[in-house]
Amino acid sequence: MKSLLAGMLVLLLAWVPGAAAATQPQEGTDYVRIEAAPWAPHQGRIEVAEVFAYTCPHCAHFEPMLREWKRRQGKDVDLVPVPAAWNGPTEAWARTYYALLELGLSERAHPALFQALHETGSLPRNPTPQELGDFLGRFGVDQERLREALADPGVAAQVRRAGEWIRDIGLEGTPTLVVNGRYRVRGRDFEDSLRIADALIARERAAARAPQTSR
């Protein structure tokens, strides 16, 4: 009898608007509504952009959690890394990320760079071109190809665009998740950030099915 009553209570709470609302992310607390376009929009897909910095230890700790989270998402969700292109080391590392993207190595080299900087110490925070080239040689890129990619005008344009975009979203720190260019997540910890992102993804899916619904 007690278990039956407990089950009925759970069902009753599910129908109480306040109980349902408590599980939803709250604007101003869990996220900030922004007016930036998605970084790399694709029709019919939901973008979750992660603003990161290779030199950020929190980003390094978040990286494996984020990859596991992505594996659990639907096929309509795009996880898009966006390097925080501030002045100084972060701008140089943003250039490195886009050079690797151009070379088709970002998927493999991305987690390896975090490990080298924050776990093994095999790369310094501000590596010389020679040190960076030696490290990336394990992925099949030689020094000359890397220099060409780093100097590519298209890479420089992407770095400038990343700097403008992080200003548009009002970036406060890294790592930060941005859902569809509409919501900047403000989780209390990594798990909370992913919980909020899940709820906002569900909101975007519902809005896509019912365009007249206000977001």
Q: What is the CATH number of the domain that holds 109?
A: 3.40.30.10
Q: How far is CA 162 from CA 112, 159, 165, 168, in A?
A: 22, 5, 5, 10
Query: Is 110 exposed, middle or buried (CB count within 10 Å of its CB: 0-12, 13-18, 19+)?
Result: middle
**What pLDDT is stored for residue 89 in this prediction?**
81
Overall domain count for the chain: 1
Residue 13 lies in a domain: no
Residue 44 lies in a domain: yes
Residue 1 lies in a domain: no
H-helix segments, 28-105? 57-71, 89-103
Mean pLDDT of the region 184-197? 97
Residue 69 pLDDT > 50: yes
pLDDT band for position 197 (cuts 50, 70, 90): very high
Strands (E), the chain: 31-33, 46-52, 77-83, 176-179, 183-185
Residue 5 lies in a domain: no
Structural domain including 113 reads: 26-209
Residue 15 lies in a domain: no
pLDDT band for position 214 (cuts 50, 70, 90): low
pTM of the full predicted structure? 0.86
Q: How far is CA 35 from CA 39, 80, 201, in A?
A: 12, 18, 17
Residue 40 lies in a domain: yes
pLDDT band for position 145 (cuts 50, 70, 90): very high
Residue 215 lies in a domain: no
Residue 105 pLDDT > 80: yes
- Residue bearing tokens 């639907």: 74
Q: Which two tokens stand for residue 200?
A: 């906002």
**What pLDDT is stored for residue 134 in this prediction?**
94
The per-residue pLDDT of the chain, averaged, comes to: 88
Which residue in 44, 188, 169, 157 sits closest to 94, CA to CA?
Answer: 157
Cβ atoms < 10 Å from Cβ of 143: 14
**Rounded Cα–Cα distance for residues 18 and 94 (Å):** 44
Residue 165 lies in a domain: yes
Strands 46-52 and 77-83: parallel
